[in-house]
């Protein structure tokens, strides 16, 4: 789900995913991850717009004070969330072509 490299003997990824889950469970986890990342990205973009608007407003009124670290952290958080969203969408596309095997009953 996170596209990180894991050891072959690991049963769980560092992101919390347990290996060996069925395809439908993974799709559900990815959809939840995509929804959460999308919501967070919208919130972060609104915060960035508000921060830039605040700096512009204060500059127009002759008072410029802003936190460089705040802008850097907000930008990095937005970039990380965007990357997570791109990876999640890529994973969902890869799973889109995979179908679960059809069950068949064999009677003796």
Alpha helices of the chain — where are they, by DSSP H?
23-60, 68-96
CB contact at 8 A, 37 and 84:
yes
Is position 2 within any domain? no
Bridge partners of residue 18, in order along the sequence:
12
Higher confidence at residue 7 or residue 73? 73
Q: Decide if 36 is inside a domain.
A: yes
Q: State the total domains in the chain.
A: 1
Domain assignment present for residue 15? The answer is no
Q: Which two tokens stand for residue 102?
A: 């059809």
Q: What is the pTM of this model?
A: 0.72
The tens digit of pLDDT for each residue in 46-96 reads 999 998 898 888 888 888 777 788 888 999 999 999 999 999 998 888 887
Structural domain includes residue 37: yes
Q: What is the rounded CA–CA span in Å between residue 5 and residue 88? A: 16
Domain holding 71, by residue range, is 23-93
Q: Is residue 107 included in any domain, yes or no?
A: no
């Amino acid at each position: 789900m996170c596209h990180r490299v894991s050891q072959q003997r690991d049963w769980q990824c560092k992101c919390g995913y347990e290996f060996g889950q069925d395809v439908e469970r993974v799709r559900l986890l990815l959809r939840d991850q995509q929804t959460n990342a999308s919501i967070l990205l919208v919130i972060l973009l609104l915060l960035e717009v508000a921060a830039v608007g605040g700096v512009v407003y204060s500059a127009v009124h002759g008072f410029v004070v802003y936190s460089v670290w705040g802008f850097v952290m907000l930008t990095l958080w937005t970039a990380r969330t965007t990357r997570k969203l791109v990876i999640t969408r890529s994973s969902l596309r890869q799973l889109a072509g995979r179908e679960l095997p059809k069950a068949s009953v064999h009677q003796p």
